[in-house]
Amino acid sequence: MKPFAFFTLLAGLILMPASAQTVVIKAGHLVDVASGTVKDNQSILVEDGKITAVGDRVVAPDGTPVIDLSDQYVMPGLIDAHTHLALMEMDGSDINDFGSYYYASLIEDTSMRVAQGTQMARSMIEAGFVWARDTGNNGLYGDVTLRRAIEGGWIPGPNMVTAGRMIAPFGGQFQMQPEKPGLGNPEYLYADSHDELVRAVRENVHYGATFLKLIIDNQPYIYSEEDVRVAVDEAHDMGVKVMSHAMSDEGIRNAVLGGVDSIEHGWQISDETLQLMKDHGTYLVGTDFPAARIGETRYQANVDRNKRARKIGVKLAFGSDAVYYEEGRTRGEQTLDFLRSYVDADFPNAFILQMATMNGADLLGANSGEIKVGKNADIIAMYHNPLDDIEALRGVQFVMKDGEVYKEGGKFTRETPRVLNNPRRKQQRGNMLGQN
């Protein structure tokens, strides 16, 4: 070997880590969720976790590795805007059994729930979910721990935004007893006055909440429009969005007028309040359980609400609220069950895909949800066309998140590194030195 050639080879080796992050995806059928159309024989160039070129004339550098999905339908990764990765309701309980999440919080500590959550996070990304908004009920910041472990590369899972502890009027969503006023801990941060609301927002953000959650109307005393505004202003000043658990028409109204970014559930909403949501650009995250969980009557009421919401033009994002145990079924598989109510509301499949990709990204503030230059490379693929049948999503064969492959050929491929530093240490040091 000539010295020059040897040098070139060495240089090539040294450069390899950077070039290894470049990959070209051959997409046989590229689904454009925004327009509800498919383009055949497209290529997607991915560099450093981002999409840098898309089309039928993509030129990749020589030697760029190719992921061949020429027999598959390729689309943006899915987003669940309402989940609880560190909550599994007690075996045998159901949503009609008041407070089944209450029992879970009494019996299981945060560490157990986080351990369980690692498995649920993995099942979510395995099913094609690249982002999840975790909406509380995670013990003492179990969701934040999961998010940090995923961000640090310790465990596989979707990117997360986290609610931390839910901010609620005294009692939260529980009925406590005076002898045991601590029963609602650690799920809720009680805040009743405006000072307490400001304090709760700050405390929650300090401990790792990245998207706050207000419980509006689970007690006879509900948050007023003014209460909501105090919390929302404090959060928005820090660039943190606010969601609200609200079910009654009055509660939803107060939350919308107070400026929240999304309404969770919204089961008893009137057309008038739906119109108010449209006027304010507030997202509705329906969390519509399968009929088997809540009964046909409640299910059909939700289907009706979805029809009304779409007709009025309210912004809709997909969110599941899958929180229960079913033998042999993963959290990721269960989450897909929650798409059914939109099919039954006669939503076009393209519209449903938009809810579960680009709308979710918009709500979460994630640079995801579309296969476009500049977006994060959050990409999934399957054999059947999800525009023809939403059930095609159950056959996800390929998952990429931030340019990293998690699943290929239907098999989970993401290895967990054997040696890892703790990402929290760097952040803690930054805080101490005042360089957040």
Q: How far is the CB of 319 from Zn ion (least distance, A)?
A: 8
Nearer to Zn ion, 69 or 214 (CB): 214
If the CB atoms of residues 165 and 401 are measured against Zn ion, the closer one turns out to be 165
Q: Shortest Cβ distance from residue 391 to Zn ion (Å)?
A: 24
Q: Which is nearer to Zn ion, 74 or 87 (CB)?
A: 87
Least gap, CB of 148 to Zn ion (angstroms) = 21
Q: Across-strand partners of 109?
A: none
Whole-angstrom Cα distance, residue 384 to residue 103? 41
Contacts of 341 (CB under 8 A, 6+ apart): 286, 288, 290, 299, 302, 303, 306
For Zn ion, give the closer residue by CB, 82 or 229. 82
Distance in Å, CB of 381 to Zn ion, minimum: 29
Q: Which is nearer to Zn ion, 136 or 157 (CB)?
A: 136
Shortest distance in whole angstroms from residue 220 CB to Zn ion = 21
Number of residues written out for the chain = 436
Q: In angstroms, what is the minimal distance from the CB of 323 to Zn ion?
A: 7
* Cβ at position 84, least distance to Zn ion in Å: 6
Q: Nearest approach, Cβ of 317 to Zn ion (angstroms)?
A: 14
Q: Other CB atoms closer than 10 Å to residue 82's CB: what's the count?
A: 28
Query: By the 8 A CB rule, do 225 and 258 touch?
Result: yes
Q: Which is nearer to Zn ion, 321 or 378 (CB)?
A: 321
CB of 77 vs Zn ion, minimal distance in Å: 21
The nearer residue to Zn ion, 217 or 321, going by C-beta atoms, is 321
Q: Angle between the 249-257 and 225-237 helix axes, to the nearest 10 degrees? A: 40
Q: Sheet containing 379-382: which strands, arranged edge to edge?
A: 50-55, 37-47, 22-32, 66-76, 379-382, 396-401, 404-408, 411-412
Q: How far is the CB of 150 from Zn ion (least distance, A)?
A: 20
Nearer to Zn ion by C-beta: 29 or 113? 113
The two tokens of residue 427 are: 């952040």
Binding residues for Zn ion (CB under 5 A): 135, 321
Query: Looking at beta carbons only, is 30 or 144 nearer to Zn ion?
Result: 144
Q: Cβ closer to Zn ion: 163 or 309?
A: 163
Could you write out the three-class secondary structure of the chain? CCHHHHHHHHHHHHHHHHHCCEEEEEEEEEEECCCCEEEEEEEEEEECCEEEEEECCCCCCCCCCEEEEEEEEEEECEEEEEECCCCCCCCCCCCCCCCHHHHHHHHCCHHHHHHHHHHHHHHHHHHCEEEEEECCCCCCCHHHHHHHHHHCCCCCCCEEEECCCEEECCCCCCCCECCEHHHHCCCEEECCCHHHHHHHHHHHHHCCCCEEEEECCCCCCCCCHHHHHHHHHHHHHCCCEEEEEECCHHHHHHHHHCCCCEEEECCCCCHHHHHHHHHHCCEEECCCCCHHHHCHHHHHHHHHHHHHHHHHCCCEECCCCCCCCCCCCCHHHHHHHCCHHHHHCCCCHHHHHHHHHHHHHHHHCCCCCCCCCCCECCEEEECCCCCCCHHHHHHEEEEEECCEEEEECCEECCCCCCCCCCHHHHHHHHHHCCCC
User: Of 285 and 353, which has the nearer Cβ to Zn ion?
Assistant: 285
> How near is the Cβ of 137 to Zn ion at its closest, in Å?
7
User: Which residue number places its CB atom closest to Zn ion?
Assistant: 321
